[in-house]
Structure 1
Amino acid sequence: MNGVEAFLLGRTLMKIGEQAMPPPKSGSSGSVRSVVVVLGDLVSHPGTTVGEIAARTGLPQSQVSTAVARLEEAGSVDTEPDPADRRRRLIRPAVEPSARVAEVRGSTIDEALATALTGPDGTAPDPDTVREVTAALDLLARRLTPSVTAR
């Protein structure tokens, strides 16, 4: 596998993950993808600022601010004023998971993965193939956590 193939695989996995997540409350602004990217960065860098997240993720600062607002509304993050500069807020994952976090964590990718593995003619994927791909994804999830890729 080369870098382009790894990148494209990552995008495919992101789409499967997005399809598997329970939909956000109606009226929520911002994309699911940017919210998940921001939350992933916060897990690796708790106690950080919007500007620092934007620099690390490459997302525009306005998009990071919108994602943080959604995460705060859902109870997924806590914020506090930065003692060094009271104009900025320090953001960290919430100590107690919110109902939304529990809902998202409780969802699985089974249906979205089966859809992705469906043949071009609409035939259902072979159960052995689904198990094999699921096992491979479980291995990747254990080995390639956000903290590994932050190094």
Structure 2
Amino acid sequence: MDGVQLHRLGKRLIDLARQVTTDAGDTVLTPGEIAVLEDVLKHPGSVVTEIQARTGFAQSHVSTSVSRLRERGLIIASPDPEDRRRTRLTLAEIAHQAIMRRAGRPADEAIAKAVGEDKADRVLALLNELTQLLD
């Protein structure tokens, strides 16, 4: 496997994961908003410049995403106790619960749809083995 094949596989797995973790009734978020939510989930109490550095997005893009997420009640902003000019960001409980609920959805159906019922069990077994080997 070369780098291009690995990249294509990674992209395909990300697309499958997105199918599993979202559905038609879910709130529609931009890729930037999803990246910001993921970053704040992993790094609660972050400031915009820290999120910008980790995601690689322009600061204006992160700020816009944070603003939209705050308006939707998905991110909570509070003043930094050490420097009141800075704002620390955390996930709202509703966002945390939604992320955990979606993350727990089984992937079996999406895998079967992608590769066919006859290959689904083998693909799932290989993915489980790969997960164990790479963790």
Query: TM-score scaled to structure 1, two decimals?
Result: 0.63
Q: Give distance in 1, aligned partners of 2:42 and 2:82.
A: 21
Report how many aligned residue pairs link the two structures: 132
Q: Give distance in 2, aligned partners of 1:127 and 1:9.
A: 16
Q: 1:90 aligns to what SS in structure 2?
A: strand
Relative to its length, the structure with more helix (as a share) is 2
- What amino acid does structure 2 have at the position aligned with 1:9? L
> Could you say what the CA RMSD is over the residues aligned between the two structures, in angstroms?
3.2
Q: Give distance in 2, aligned partners of 1:2 and 1:94.
A: 41
Q: Is 1:88 aligned with 2:81?
A: no
Over 3 Å counting, the alpha-carbon distance change for 1:99 and 1:45 in structure 2 is closer
Identity %: 34
Q: Give distance in 2, aligned partners of 1:57 and 1:95.
A: 22
Q: Is the 8 A contact 2:112 2:119 kept in 1?
A: no
Over 3 Å counting, the alpha-carbon distance change for 1:52 and 1:102 in structure 2 is closer
1:59-83 Cα shifts (integer Å, max 9, x gaps) = 23344234434377354x4321123
Q: 1:78 aligns to what SS in structure 2?
A: strand
Over 3 Å counting, the alpha-carbon distance change for 1:57 and 1:97 in structure 2 is closer
Q: Is the 8 A contact 1:46 1:92 kept in 2?
A: yes
Q: Is 1:131 aligned with 2:131?
A: no
Which residues in structure 2 correspond to 1:1-151 (within 5 Å)? 1-23=1-23, 24-25=26-27, 28=28, 30-31=29-30, 33-68=31-66, 69-70=68-69, 73=72, 75=74, 77-94=75-92, 98-118=96-116, 124-136=117-129, 138-139=131-132, 143=135
Q: Is the 8 A contact 1:42 1:92 kept in 2?
A: yes
Question: 4+ residue runs of structure 1 moved beyond 6 angstroms?
Answer: none
1:3-57 Cα shifts (integer Å, max 9, x gaps) = 44333322222111111123433xx5x41x3333223322433221122211211
Query: TM-score scaled to structure 2, two decimals?
Result: 0.68
1:102-131 Cα shifts (integer Å, max 9, x gaps) = 43234222222222223xxxxx34243233
Q: Structure 2 stretches of 5 or more lacking a match?
A: none
